[in-house]
Amino acid sequence: MIKDTNVYLKDIMKKILNSYSIIDELSDKPNDLQLLKIELQKINGFLLVLSKKICLDNVDQLTTKKLENKISLYLQNYDFSREINKLIDTYANDNLRVKNIQMSVINSLNDGKLIESIYEKYNNF
C-alpha cells in the first residue's frame, strides 16, 4: 500500500511542477491569462490533495510536516482568482499587466520555497 501511495503522491507532485513550468513559460499574450487561470486552479487543487494525502508518507515525517505547513501557508495567503478574472475581463491585451500577475503567481509559489520543497520531495521518492 505504501508503494502505491508514494507513486500517487509523486504523480501529484509532477502535475504541480508541470503546471508551474507552464506558468513560468507564459509569453504575456492575451490568451495566457486563461492558461494562467487554468494552471493555477490545477496547482491549487493538487496542493489541497497533496496536503491531505502527504501524511500517508511515513518515510520522512519531518520533511513531510514542513511541506504540509508550506502548502497550508500558501493556500491561506494566496488567491489570485479575483485578480485574474478582472484582468481577463478588462486588461487581457495589456502585456505588462499579464506579466505582472504571472510574476506575482510565480513569486507566491516560490514564497517559503514551496515549489523547491515539492521538487525535492518529488526527487526523493
List of domains in the chain: 2-124 (1.20.120)
pLDDT score, position 1: 44
pTM of the model: 0.91
Residue ranges of alpha helices (H) inside 54-94 are 61-77, 81-90
- Counting as low any pLDDT under 50, the low residues of the chain are 1
How many C-beta atoms surround the C-beta of residue 32 within 10 A?
20
pLDDT score, position 111: 92
pLDDT score, position 65: 85
The beta-strand segments (E) located in the chain are none
- Distance from the Cα of residue 85 to its chain's centroid: 18
Contact by Cβ (8 Å): 64, 53: no
Residues 6+ apart with CB under 8 A from 107: none
